[in-house]
Amino acid sequence: LIPFTVKETTLGLLQSGHRVNLEFDMIGKYVLKIQENRTSNALTREKLIESGW
C-alpha cells in the first residue's frame, strides 16, 4: 500500500490474511473509452497513451 492509502483509508489496519474486496472500476472505464473512440480494430501504443495508459 502507498502511504496515502494507509493514511486515508482503513486498509492500513488490516493484517496479512484478511479478506478484502477490490473493485477495478477505472479499468472498465478505460476499456469502454478505448472501444467507443476506436476507428479501427487495431490497438496501437498511441491509442493506449491517449486513453491514459
pLDDT for res 26? 79
Neighbouring C-alpha atoms within 13 Å toward the C-beta of 15:
0
Q: CA 39 to CA 46: how far, in whole Å? A: 13
Residue 18 DSSP label: -
> Could you tell me which residues come within 8 angstroms of residue 50 by beta carbon, excluding any fewer than 6 positions away?
37
Using only the alpha carbons of the chain, give its radius of gyration.
Answer: 17
Please give the mean pLDDT across all residues of the chain: 84
Model confidence at 40, in pLDDT bands (50, 70, 90)?
Answer: low
The neighbour count for residue 33, using CB atoms within 10 Å, is 13
User: What pTM did the predictor assign?
Assistant: 0.35
Mean of the pLDDT values across residues 5-21? 90
